[in-house]
Structure 1
């Protein structure tokens, strides 16, 4: 099993990691966290014990798992939310430790081979998509000619995101800096360590499990290296009283930006006395927005928070990429852009998504040559040109002939709890929820709010740091255009 060796400076007195020293292998893995979709992160850390909830993201993920597939436009819609692809997967496949076991070089074709030769000639990145002939595209094919790796055997060309000969120090709170005496002294000073006799040098070998623990701790704790390397498990719980403060750290978005992308509306059932959202009644458009959060990379979420702090220390990692000189320490300015403004994977977006998150475009041409998916024509036979394949939108049933739709079907309606548990709408269940919350009928009112760019951005941030995302988004900072109408009079 592959491992990475880390040299650490440990403060024996406080039993805390001050910093670790590493080459590009470890830093590449840390930076890869920023490219990972939230659904992938929740999936990967779900097997760790104990499991820590990441705001409401765990509830969104479980909601997708629990909702019957009949509510989704295609079976692939559910799969792509539970196992979202990484738009930077071509880079991440070269990491020393394989964190995500998703095979990015796998494609799916029609179960009838002749259909790929002379029929509909379709290709899918996801299984459970149906071909134009009506048969499932579940015949798995691997790419014969993958793109060359970004790293090489030459020491000077090593590295995925950072240059191979660079050395770094990584603080306990995930600040990454070029290795230097001044950087080391600065970190020691911040921790109040003045006596070097208390500093001990230790070597740690970490594998995939430890990396996943670091990922989880970075989202909920300020000292992930100490908690993982020294097994000092003191991961704090996310407290609701903290969430509004962190959400409000987002940069204000001008009101006119709410109209840049499509808007949707949602009906909130609010407790008057407690000033909290009991639940929301929402159409598929609003739930499409919520579920799309699982496809969004962590780096995009950090960028969307505009420098605001999070519960853990992952924002320090993001800020480190901002501060690093791309010409000296990163592979290129394009790599820096991939880390700071990552896109969602091809096929993951949909029209009129309020956030307007950009989708990566797969401009590669794929051919079906003698039962193999290839990106180049081999020319085994004179004048033979293999069929060019068309990549399907996994969210669109082929018979519809439309692309750009969301994940769910109209006219389905859903109930969304304050902590973003999504279920098909049920008046009986809603009454049971009010009973569980011990809220009488005469203490509620219903309001309808519009959700545009600004509201979607606040909701994304709240879903990451809060356990009461609807309240933090709509009540504690009620949109100016909210349409409030008491439908249940006292």
Structure 2
């Protein structure tokens, strides 16, 4: 059985001595829950935490999107909170993941912002983002062993992150696949992994088929995802999206195209398009993997195999069908200021907290907790439990209406490069792009395209897979997976 401490998990691995690769590890639900939680993490969080710990990975255009948000003047955003939502997006499964043995986002303490004393709500509303108020909070259900999988359940995990129940037939099949003839070429090793190793597994899973070997045995350095997919080579097969699109549901974008090379040099678009593209940073990894899978594309990494393991595992291994659904269809954190109609991704459940303000003898103290038992028993104010849908609202005392149209102020125009570097519109920036690409003025033309639901999904997928997202979506003819 895997041994656990507050900050680490121990397990055993069977290693092929000839290739110095992990054949499989044997562990319980705690470590599998940690791996499965990868699917619930927003892309912006993955990039931020990986960069903070010197593990940058080029995931298509996602790093450029993140850097663009960092570099754009805060005054262009509706509030400072809107910028924070993109740079530090919270997970829609946060309420469940707080019970994980190891958490990817554990280096950022949770912050709460309450109303001022002048607010008519009387300190009852608070939020995870400054300048943003949420409604009332409801009680959460307590964990009863395990987060996604049932407590004390045993699993084996292969080097490419296939998770399966342990059985002799599964082991024999794995040995045959890896050409392991007998036990003499294998050895059993014990490992103790903490936050650093888990983060490295996540980063490796995006680009490698052997993330366990690379993390546990330091097999090789992480490859670059954009190098795995040659520039200009991504074609995503379209998928029929239900419902009719009204003209008002589409976004108009002007492309500056190189006629001879048939590539997008850059685009010019309003804040509605940039709101859409920036929102990709708030989307959970599992949602992106699902769109890649649905569109007959594939990844060089092993994160897709982890997603498939959730699909293939029998329901009896999960705490409930609801927990399995959280992983297969992960949702947004319920407080972002952008209603993503084109992607149609749903919001997660409300979190649950208790707030108390009490006298300590010489001053007032405040506490916010998910467990009512943590409110001090000597509190003169024992709070009643109140409920709040985590719908973004601005405090009425600020005389500001409810806003959910986007992260950015408008009307504002932007210049967007093929690899999704975004800046407020600038002719000088556009000229520098053409100069860098060595494209003469005589070789460019303007094209107006409309972005609807299907284009939005393809933009999401190509922003993860390719460093030429605009070209891949608007100028490449889709291919089947057999032609790619």
Superposition TM-score tier, normalisation by shorter sequence: 0.7 to 0.9
* Partner Cα separation in structure 1 for residue 60 and residue 290 of structure 2: 17
Aligned to 1:14: 19
Distance in structure 2 (CA, Å) of the matches to 1:363 and 1:234? 38
Q: Contact 1:311/1:465 (CA < 8 Å) preserved in 2?
A: no
CA distance in 1 between counterparts of 2:368 and 2:250 reads 40
Let me know the Cα RMSD of the aligned residues. Answer: 3.2
Q: Identify which of 312, 316, 330 aligns with 1:342.
A: 330
Question: 1:432 Cα deviation (Å)?
Answer: 1.3
TM-score, normalised via structure 1 length: 0.84
- State the shift of 1:428 in Å: 1.1
Secondary structure, counterpart of 1:360 in structure 2: coil
Give the SS at the match of 1:46.
helix
Q: Partners of 1:387 and 1:193 in 2: how far apart?
A: 59
Q: In structure 2, which of residues 245, 253, 272 is the aligned counterpart of residue 266 of structure 1?
A: 253
**Aligned counterparts, 1:85-484, within 5 A:** 85-101=90-106, 106-110=111-115, 112-113=116-117, 115=119, 118=122, 122-127=125-130, 129=131, 147=140, 149-151=142-144, 158-237=145-224, 238-239=226-227, 241-242=229-230, 248=236, 252-254=239-241, 258-259=245-246, 262-307=249-294, 308-326=297-315, 328-348=316-336, 350-351=338-339, 353-362=341-350, 370=358, 371-372=366-367, 393=392, 398-477=398-477
Deviations 1:244-302 (A, max 9, x none): 76652x56224865559922111111111111111111110010011100111111111
Contact residue 39 and residue 84 of structure 1 kept, 8 A = yes
Number of matched pairs: 456
- Verify the 8 A CA contact 1:258 1:455 in the aligned structure 2: no
**Once the 2 structures are TM-superposed, how far is the Cα of residue 356 of structure 1 from its aligned partner?**
1.3
Change (3 A) 1:424 1:331: same
Task: Write the distance in 2 (CA, Å) between the matches of 1:31 and 1:367.
Answer: 31
1: CA distance between counterparts of 2:74 and 2:64?
Answer: 17
* Match of residue 62 from structure 2: 57
Contact 2:11 2:192 in 1 (8 A): yes
Deviation at 1:234, TM superposition (A): 3.9
Contact 1:302-1:318 at 8 Å conserved across structures: yes
The question of whether the paired residues in 2 share the 8 Å contact of 1:116 and 1:389 is answered with: no
Change in CA separation of 1:254 and 1:334 when aligned onto 2, cut-off 3 Å = closer
Q: CA deviation at 1:29?
A: 0.3
Distance 2:120 2:85 in 1: 23
Gaps of 5+ in 1: 132-136, 138-142, 152-157, 479-490
- CA, structure 1 residues 146+260, in 2 after alignment: closer, same or farther (shift >3 Å)? farther
Inter-partner Cα distance in structure 2 for 1:413 and 1:239: 31
Q: Do the aligned partners of 1:289 and 1:353 also contact (CA within 8 Å) in 2?
A: no
**1:24 aligned onto 2:29:** yes
Give the Cα separation in 2 of the matches to 1:258 and 1:196.
59
1:31 is displaced (CA, Å) by: 0.3
Task: Give me the whole-angstrom Cα distance separating, in 2, the residues matched to 1:169 and 1:446.
Answer: 54
- Aligned equivalents of 1:234, 1:421: Cα separation in 2: 27
Query: Which is worse superposed, 430-439 or 187-196?
Result: 187-196
